[in-house]
Amino acid sequence: MTVSNIFKMEMYRNFRDRAYLIVISILTVSFAIAASLGIAMIFQAKSGHETAPLIFLEGPLVFALFIAFAAFSIIYPWHLMSTDYNNKVLSLVVASGVKRSRYYFVKLLATIVTNLLAYFVIGVIPVVLLLGFFHQEFIDFVQTMIHGFTANQGWLLLLNLLVSSIATMVILYFVVILTRGKFWGVFVFLGIRLGLGVVVSSIGLSIASVSGSLTSGLLGNHWLDFAVSLIEIIIFGFAGLLMLKKQDL
């Protein structure tokens, strides 16, 4: 089985996971409602009308959506990566002659692509609403962000965000392989991320205090985060791949 066929098979299964398609739909509708309430609240504030009722609705909704999306961003990729362990498909795939190393990278790529598509679907309606009602304001905001990124090494922020996201997926898959897809592995993943975060933050604060400059300290932290993310990808990626190769399925 070729790499492209394995990838197509993974994407086909991901797009037919009805339970999580329903979850994505609910999140999409909820974010659209939150965006609509926010737009209505802005218009009422501009016209001098009372906004307390809308704030009463918007505040808890945004907080709940923040928690729900944070949970979804961990549980959904965990589900995509662990489902082959839970339904015994992984052993069948390997028995069919697919190399474990090939399967590892395709599974990781398919999970990242599926998550990006899910985030796009969830966020597209609020963005369209903002563009429709606040076209000029949205353009001014984007231009301001681009100018700020250019002036403050924003390209490094974006690159760091990309590499950090990949590192998160690599660590998540490492824990999936380590725990054979058991759900309690989510807490192992959170513990690893928390421990790494404490270590990196401590080193970053030390760099900022030694540099004596907040700007150079922040820039140094971005480079530190970037380097740490690359190290995480290499270490946890190699460990996960090695473990999968030797695992008795």
Q: Does residue 212 have a pLDDT over 60?
A: no
Evaluate whether 99 touches 1 at the Cβ level (below 8 Å): no
What is the per-residue pLDDT for 175? 94
Banded pLDDT at 223 (limits 50, 70, 90): confident
Q: Residue 80: which of 108, 61, 102 has the closest Cα? A: 108
Q: Per residue in 142-159, pLDDT tens?
A: 666 666 555 556 667 778
What is the per-residue pLDDT for 123? 84
Q: Please tell me the pTM assigned to this model.
A: 0.81
Q: Does residue 218 have a pLDDT over 60?
A: no
Evaluate whether 76 touches 110 at the Cβ level (below 8 Å): no
Mean pLDDT over each residue of the chain, to the nearest integer: 81
Sequence-distant contacts of 71-76: CB under 8 A, at least 24 apart = 72/23, 72/27, 73/115, 74/172, 74/186, 74/189, 74/190, 75/186, 76/20, 76/23, 76/115, 76/118
Evaluate whether 222 touches 156 at the Cβ level (below 8 Å): yes
Q: Per residue in 81-118, pLDDT tens?
A: 988 888 877 777 777 777 888 889 999 999 999 999 99
CA–CA dist 33, 57 (Å, integer): 10
Q: Per residue in 27-40, pLDDT tens?
A: 998 888 888 877 77
Domain ranges across the chain:
1-139, 152-249
CA–CA dist 105, 95 (Å, integer): 18
What are the residues whose beta carbons fall under 8 Å from the beta carbon of 243, sequence distance 6 or more? 174, 177, 178
